[in-house]
Every structure is written in C-alpha cells, then in structure tokens.
C-alpha cells in the first residue's frame, strides 16, 4: 500500500512512472515530486504514466489538478497516460477529462 | 431490517491507516460476492469518507480516532464512518463539491472537494449525520440478478 515514483528526465519530456496506490497517505509525496517538475523551464511535456497504478481516489485528483495549473503557468504540457478503465472513470465522473490531456491504456491492457 | 452481521474497526485518524481499512473492505465485499467493479467503487467511497475524517481530525485538538462499521446484509453492505470531532458546515461543503463544469476556466477548478461528490456518485444510498461529529452512512446493494444469470449459464451450458 505504497506508491513508488520514478522520474525519467529527457530533453523535451519528463516522464513520471507511478506504481502502487494514490491515496491520502501517498498523495503528499506525489505532489512534492510532481509540482517542481511542472515548473521547469527547459522541459515541454510532463507525462505521468499510470500503467502500474491500481488505485486512486480524490486525493490524486487534487494533485493532478494542481500539476495541470502549474504546468499551464510555466508553459509546459501536462499529460496522463495509460489509465486503466477504473481510474479513467474517476476522471470522467468528475468532469476532469474535459480539461486534461488523458489517454487510456491501449488495447489488451488488463487491469 | 432483517438479520445482519456486524464488523467494527477503530483506527487512529491518520492517513496511513486508510489503506488498511480499504484492504479489510476488499475482503468483506469479496466474501459477500460483490463484482470487481463494485468493490473498486466501495474502496474509493470508503477511502473518501475516512480521508474526510482524517483531515477533520487534524483540525481538532484531541484526536480520538475513527470508527468504522460494516453491516453485512443478505442484499447489501452498509458502511458507517464516524469521527468524534466537532461538527462542520454541511451546506458549505455541499456548495464546494461536485463535478467540474465545462464552462469553468482552468484557473477556477478546485483542487479538492471531489470527495463527497464521489461518495454520492459511487454508492447507492448516502446519509450524513452532523450532530456530534460527522457520521457518514453509505449503502451498496448486491446485484443479485447478475449472480443468478451467471449461475444459470454455468448449469445450462456444457
């Protein structure tokens, strides 16, 4: 019941690979790691990879809304990729799919 | 009404215990025969209620923990989450929750406030009692027809 956060930095893109659960316990650590990345000036895209995220609640939504705002302020693009159906549904119910760049897991992805 | 079995837990009002309660819930809901999707909904709804209680507890001087009760009925699971802190302004909370609306600008999108909204969206019935501390009572029904259909299929095919 933890979240591991791996940051892969490239010239144009920073990828953040998450594994585990995003909840009230792990969200503060995620925010601490993610927000500074959205403020960098040399990067264009911040991509969060959800492939190995098996749980997320509204504490995660809060972190990603903050990260989106900060990215916009600093001229960076913010993307969420490889969301499974369950996690995508939470973004859909809350209407956040309309303001965020979100890609679901590609075909064949088992939850 | 009817017969039910009761499971009670009490955990410290700390974020690190949200996952522990979630695991217990998985076990209970799985034993009752809830679908994978329903179990995921239950996990989120319960976590939201406990997260609210934890956040609320941090604002109180004395932290007396969070009580959780699972009422297991033949056709449904009732979950109660109670903190014993002071009450809060329910109207204010209701006004500050809900989905993002398409005509809101990104700058005005809230970073919090989705918790209570998600509980309402994911559970079949939700009641909030706000007299002495906050008590959230939420219910999810087992979809029995689905189970019956599956059982029929197994017995009639091959």
Residue of A nearest to B47 (CA): A57
Report the number of secondary-structure helices (H) and strands (E) in chain A: 3, 5
Mutation pick from A59, A78, A88, A92 vs chain B, by most beta carbons of B within 10 Å, is: A59
The CATH code of the domain that includes B83 is: 3.30.565.10
Interacting residues of B9 by C-beta distance below 8 A, sequence separation 6+: B21, B24, B67, B68, B69
User: How high is the ipTM of this complex?
Assistant: 0.89
A47-62: pLDDT as tens digits: 999 999 999 999 999 9
Supply the pLDDT for residue B93: 55
Domain that holds residue B92: 5-156
Task: Report percent pLDDT > 90 for chain A.
Answer: 84
CATH of domain A3-104: 3.30.750.24
> Taking the domains of chain A in order of start, what are their residue ranges?
3-104
User: Buried b vs exposed e over B82-95: b needs ≥16 C-beta within 10 Å?
Assistant: bbbbeeeeeeebee
Query: What digits encode the pLDDT tens for the residues B84-98?
Result: 755 555 566 555 556
Query: Closest Cα to residue A74, out of A106, A107, A34, A105?
Result: A34
Residues whose CB falls within 8 Å of the CB of residue B95, separated by 6 or more in sequence, listed in order: none
Average pLDDT over residues A31-58: 93
Give the count of domains, chain B: 1
Instruction: Give the per-residue pLDDT at B157.
Output: 36
Contact present, B66 and B81 (Cβ < 8 Å) = yes
Which residues of chain A lie closer than 8 angstroms to B117, CB-CB? 58, 94
> A77 — contact with chain B (CB < 8 Å)?
no
Q: Which residue has the higher pLDDT, B152 or B37?
A: B37
Please indicate whether residue A60 or residue A107 has the higher confidence score (pLDDT): A60
The pLDDT tens digits for B41-78 are 999 999 999 998 888 776 666 667 899 999 999 999 99
Query: How many angstroms separate the CA atoms of B54 and B17, rounded?
Result: 10
Chain A interface includes B101 (CB < 8 A)? yes
């Amino acid at each position: 019941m933890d979240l591991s956060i791996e940051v892969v930095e490239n010239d144009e893109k920073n990828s953040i690979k998450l594994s585990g659960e995003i909840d009230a316990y792990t969200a503060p650590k995620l925010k601490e790691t993610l927000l500074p990345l959205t403020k960098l000036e040399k990067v264009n895209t911040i991509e969060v990879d959800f492939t190995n995220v098996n749980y997320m609640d509204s504490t995660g939504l809060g972190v990603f809304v903050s990260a989106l705002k900060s990215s916009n302020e600093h001229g960076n693009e913010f993307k969420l990729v490889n969301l499974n159906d369950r996690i995508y549904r939470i973004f859909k119910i809350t209407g956040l799919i309309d303001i965020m760049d979100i890609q679901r897991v590609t075909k064949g992805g088992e939850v | 009404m009817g017969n039910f079995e009761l499971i009670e837990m009490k955990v410290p009002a700390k974020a690190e215990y949200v996952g522990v309660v979630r695991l217990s819930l998985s076990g209970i809901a799985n034993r009752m025969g809830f679908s994978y999707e329903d179990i995921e909904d239950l996990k989120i709804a319960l976590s939201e209620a406990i997260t609210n209680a934890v956040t609320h507890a941090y604002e109180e001087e004395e932290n007396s923990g969070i009580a959780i009760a699972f009422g297991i009925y033949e056709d449904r699971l009732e979950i109660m989450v109670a903190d014993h802190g002071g009450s809060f302004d329910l109207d204010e909370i209701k006004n500050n929750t809900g989905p993002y609306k398409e005509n809101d600008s990104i700058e005005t999108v809230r970073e919090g406030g989705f918790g209570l909204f998600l509980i309402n969206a994911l559970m079949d019935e939700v009641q909030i009692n706000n007299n002495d501390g906050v008590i959230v009572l939420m219910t999810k029904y087992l979809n029995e027809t689905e189970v019956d259909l599956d059982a029929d299929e197994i017995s009639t095919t091959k």
